[in-house]
């Protein structure tokens, strides 16, 4: 079934009786060519591109809960490609280009909205750093634009421009950035993968990896052993738990990131806005709620909930740049478990075990990377060589000294 305007009108006239399930609910087969562990955004995107772009047929996605129940449904839905370093920027720009064509590609309304992202500048030194980043973006084919305080005031009159401590001196804008309906990304990829024969198996937890003579033969699951020629882990915050089954210790700590939504308000915030002197990012959903977040809590955790000091810090940062939000009430808050890597950048690589592949370390920036992560992981799984924009995301880069440290924080995951 394809979605189209015609189909919507037809169903409206026919009493909406023609809509069926968007994907099957198959029993696992005994063997697959490729098994993806993790039915989140990245895992589903990987399966979709494996089937659609790389001609693979016999694929399964194993998900311990339900698809879209992890971080792909827990993020603040921002897409952008405003990175500095050569190892990162081409990858994220590839991702943004995929976002731009995604809805036509998988025939699903993901509400991709390129409403722009604006990083505020509060000091002369920060202006220098952001100018450099903007130039790095332009050199890699992305768009970047410096805005003066007056230009920002014309579009966002509600910001706290003349704050004594953190005056707004300008901003770096990426007009092609924006937001996406995050659940629809998981659903769209799941539907597209399922239509191409991928088995999406929910409520199937991987409890072990069967490794014989240095070769991964399949996975032990809560629904029995499933054999595979290739197994790809793609489980974000649970990466260390899965790879521990292969006795692999990762350069990753799991941390919780909280996100927040206010009550619904009239349209007021035009795009995504970030605070440059603290850590705060906000956009307004189509329902009217302010969607915002800040730092991770900063301690190892697998609990999908955080603590109050971070809530206070995030709200203080929000008040610092837009005092008007002090009158709105918080509606919901939640947490997701982040695979924080030692340099703040991700890993898409083979392991030293034949047939076992790893995708993780996305820190709290995995959502925007979903299409490119899926594409590049599919490329690696299908061809056994990295995609050209993901060559820097090697698992051994820490040992070899090729870190991709955007923030220059060193091997301290809670500071990235």
Partner 1 sequence: MIINHPILGPRDAAEFTYLGDASLLNRPDWQAADAADQFYEYLYLRDNPAGEHRELWYHEQGDRSWLVVTRNTLTHEISSVELASDVARAQGNKK
Structure token pair of residue 58? 């016999």
Q: Is 4 or 300 the residue whose CB approaches partner 1 more closely?
A: 300
The closest alpha carbon to 173, from 278, 270, 263, 104, belongs to 270
382: part of which helix (H) or strand (E)?
A: helix 370-383
Q: Minimum distance from CB of 210 to partner 1 (Å)?
A: 21
Closest separation in Å from C-beta 250 to partner 1: 7
With respect to partner 1, which residue has the nearer C-beta, 295 or 406? 295
CB of 338 to partner 1, least distance (A): 12
Residue 368 CB contacts under 8 Å (≥ 6 apart), including other chains: 78, 79, 80, 81, 92, 95, 96, 99
* φ, ψ for residue 150, nearest 5 deg: -65, -40
Distances, alpha carbon 22 to alpha carbons 65, 72, 137, 179, 193, in Å: 17, 18, 38, 23, 10
Report the residue number, 250 or 322, with the smaller CB distance to partner 1: 250
Name the DSSP class of 354: B
CB atoms within 10 A of CB 134: 21
Residue 108 burial (CB count, 10 A) = 21
Closest CB 295 distance from partner 1, rounded Å: 12
Enumerate residues 6+ apart whose C-beta is below 8 A from 265: 284, 288, 289, 290, 328
Tell me how far, at minimum, the Cβ of 298 lies from partner 1, in Å: 5
**Beta carbons within 8 Å of 7's beta carbon, 6+ residues apart:** 1
If the CB atoms of residues 95 and 238 are measured against partner 1, the closer one turns out to be 238
What is the nearest approach in angstroms of partner 1 to the Cβ of residue 40?
17
For partner 1, which is the closer residue by CB, 147 or 395? 395
Task: Pick the closer one to partner 1 by CB: 249 or 287.
Answer: 249
Q: Given the complex with partner 1, which of 251 and 366 has the nearer CB atom?
A: 251
What is the closest distance, in whole angstroms, from the C-beta atom of residue 302 to partner 1 in the complex?
4
CA torsion 335→327→112→333, rounded to 10°?
10
Residues found near partner 1 in the complex (CB under 8 A):
238, 240-241, 244, 249-254, 298-303, 307, 309, 342, 398-399, 411-414
Answer yes or no: are the C-beta atoms of 248 and 242 closer than 8 Å.
no
Q: For partner 1, give the closer residue by CB, 39 or 306.
A: 306
Strands 330-341 and 252-264: antiparallel
User: Alpha-carbon torsion 365, 366, 371, 375, what sign?
Assistant: positive
**CB 299 to partner 1: min, Å:** 5
Instruction: Please state, in angstroms and rounded to a whole number, the distance separating the CA atoms of residues 401 and 416.
Output: 18
């Amino acid at each position: 079934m394809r979605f189209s305007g015609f189909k919507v009108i037809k169903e409206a006239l026919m009493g909406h009786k023609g809509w069926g399930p968007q994907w099957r609910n198959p029993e696992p087969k005994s063997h697959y060519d490729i098994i993806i562990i993790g039915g989140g955004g990245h895992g589903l995107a990987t399966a979709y591109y494996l089937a659609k772009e790389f001609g693979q047929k016999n694929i399964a996605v194993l998900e311990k809960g339900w698809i879209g129940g992890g971080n792909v449904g827990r993020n603040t839905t921002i897409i952008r490609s405003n990175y500095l370093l050569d190892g990162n920027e081409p990858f994220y720009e590839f991702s943004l280009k995929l976002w731009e064509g995604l809805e036509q590609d998988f025939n699903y309304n993901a509400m991709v909205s390129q409403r722009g992202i604006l990083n505020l500048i509060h000091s002369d030194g920060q202006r220098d750093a952001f100018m450099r980043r903007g130039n790095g973006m332009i050199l890699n084919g992305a768009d970047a634009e410096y805005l003066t305080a007056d230009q920002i005031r014309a579009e966002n009159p509600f910001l706290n421009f003349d704050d004594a401590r953190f005056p707004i001196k300008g901003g770096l804008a990426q007009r092609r950035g924006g937001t996406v309906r995050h659940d629809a990304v998981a659903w769209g990829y799941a539907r597209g993968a399922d239509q191409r024969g991928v088995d999406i198996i929910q409520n199937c937890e991987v409890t072990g990896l069967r490794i014989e003579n240095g070769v991964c033969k399949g996975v032990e699951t809560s629904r029995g052993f499933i054999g595979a020629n290739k197994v790809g882990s793609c489980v974000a915050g649970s990466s260390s738990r899965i790879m521990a089954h292969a006795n692999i210790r990762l350069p990753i700590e799991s941390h919780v990131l909280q996100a927040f939504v206010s009550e619904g308000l009239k349209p007021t915030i035009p795009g995504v806005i970030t605070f440059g002197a603290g850590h705060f990012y906000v956009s307004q959903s189509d329902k009217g709620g302010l969607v915002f977040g800040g730092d991770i809590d900063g301690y190892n955790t697998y609990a999908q909930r955080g603590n109050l000091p971070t809530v206070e810090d995030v709200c203080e940062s929000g008040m610092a740049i837009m005092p008007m939000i002090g009158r709105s009430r918080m509606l919901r808050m939640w947490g997701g478990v982040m695979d924080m890597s030692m340099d703040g950048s991700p890993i898409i690589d083979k392991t030293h075990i034949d047939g076992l592949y790893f995708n993780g370390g996305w820190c709290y920036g995995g959502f925007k990377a979903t299409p490119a992560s899926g594409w590049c992981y599919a490329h690696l799984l299908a061809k056994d060589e990295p995609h050209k924009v993901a060559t820097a995301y090697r698992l051994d880069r820490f040992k070899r000294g090729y870190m991709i440290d955007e923030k220059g924080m060193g091997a301290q995951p809670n500071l990235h």
